[in-house]
């Protein structure tokens, strides 16, 4: 799962670099800190990642970058449900959320990559 500190025109790294990074920007995921992750921790990490993004001034770009973080937060939470939850209905919803959000993350990644090519 990849979310990273962002920057281009104020973001910390470009999307291609983000795609190679694991965990939240500040390293708040269980995978990067060895700390147990809960729903609250996941939300806190996502909010931290979003707050770390410096606005570029381009509404379209900022929307795509911020929504990508938001969607990854949903994937992370849904994965926790799959890993630790027990309710079959919520497990099914979590699977649907992961599928839908990953598809949209890929669309954001594609749009951001195209945008960055146009800006060069």
Residues paired with residue 2 on neighbouring β-strands, in sequence order: 23
Of 21, 22, 1, 5, the residue nearest 65 (C-alpha): 5
53-70 pLDDT per residue, tens: 889 999 999 999 999 999
Dihedral of alpha carbons 84, 77, 19, 24, sign: negative
Residue 8 to residues 16, 52, 53, 80: CA-CA distances in angstroms? 11, 13, 10, 31
14-68 pLDDT per residue, tens: 333 343 333 443 333 434 443 446 888 888 888 888 888 889 999 999 999 999 9
Question: What is the distance between the alpha carbons of residues 101 and 112, in angstroms, rounded to a whole number?
Answer: 16
Q: Output the pTM of the full model.
A: 0.68
105-116 pLDDT per residue, tens: 999 999 999 999
């Amino acid at each position: 799962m990849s979310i990273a500190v962002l920057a281009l025109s104020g973001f910390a790294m470009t999307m291609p670099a983000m795609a190679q990074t694991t965990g939240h920007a500040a390293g708040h995921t269980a995978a990067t800190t060895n700390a147990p992750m809960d729903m609250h921790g996941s939300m806190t990490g996502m909010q931290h990642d979003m707050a770390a993004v410096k606005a570029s001034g381009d509404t379209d770009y900022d929307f795509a970058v911020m929504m990508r973080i938001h969607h990854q937060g949903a994937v992370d939470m849904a994965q926790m449900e799959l890993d630790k939850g027990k309710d079959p209905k919520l497990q099914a919803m979590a699977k649907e959320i992961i599928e839908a959000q990953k598809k949209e993350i890929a669309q954001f990644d594609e749009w951001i990559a195209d945008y960055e090519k146009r800006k060069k």
